[in-house]
Amino acid sequence: MGIVTADIAISLDGFAAGPNQSLEHPLGEGAEERLHAWMFDERSANHREEIEAIVRAGAYVMGRKMFGPVRNEWPAEGEPFGDWRGWWGEEPPYHAPVFVLTHYAREPLEMTGTTFYFVTDGIHSAMEQAREVAGDADVSVAGGAETLNQALWAGVVDELRLHVVPLTLGAGERVFDRVPPLDLELVRERVTPEVAHLTYRVRR
């Protein structure tokens, strides 16, 4: 049986997103190009192992802000964002079902290589559904910080993979906010000039 993993890129002061998140700045001002550059620019070949680990899960759980900028009721087709299909275009990087936490129901969204399901009854329900479809494969908590914090609070994460980028953001969404104390065992580390990859087992 697979485990529940969580990958998230953070600043040295613990933020996974900077201030003033918007359509133009999904991860906040100054954060997107800096926190995730190691994944997408010419240096990504140096981090292939970590990137492959992120995308090989059998199912994913993510928050609504990770999916898109809409915060209230899903807009109707023809309204602004009414045809929103995620930040990634028609071919998202997820090649397994994705369960999106939201307060507002929506029909499943089929895209190339995956289907997004919108879960309105909380992290435990999303995790149960993800585990069922993943079978023996891992389930990945894909972010953002608020969803990861919910998963840590709920005690469902087995392995936490922090990708720590050498910068500070000073404000935004911080990992571990309002999360009870955790007992973490460092099981793997790899440090590069761009990012420190730190993998922790969550002890129970």
The tally of domains found in the chain comes to 1
Give me the count of residues in the chain.
204
Residue ranges making up the domain that contains 111: 29-160+169-203
Residue 16: inside a domain: no
pLDDT at 174: 94
pTM: 0.91
pLDDT at 15: 93
Residue 74: inside a domain: yes
Residue 10: inside a domain: no
Strand pairing of 139-143 and 183-191?
Answer: unpaired
CA of 204: how far to CAs of 34, 131, 144, 148, 185, in Å? 34, 20, 23, 17, 11
Contact between 3 and 138 under an 8 Å Cβ cutoff? The reply is: yes
Residue 14: inside a domain: no
Residue 56: inside a domain: yes
pLDDT at 188: 97
The domain that holds 54 is classified in CATH as 3.40.430.10
Q: How far apart are CA 15 and CA 55, in angstroms?
A: 22
> 47 φ, ψ to 5°?
-125, 25
Residues of the chain with pLDDT under 70: 22-23, 30, 32, 81
Residue 11: inside a domain: no
pLDDT at 100: 96
Residue 131: inside a domain: yes
Q: Dmax of the chain from CA atoms?
A: 50
pLDDT digits (tens, 9 = 90+) for 12-23: 999 998 777 766
Residue 20: inside a domain: no
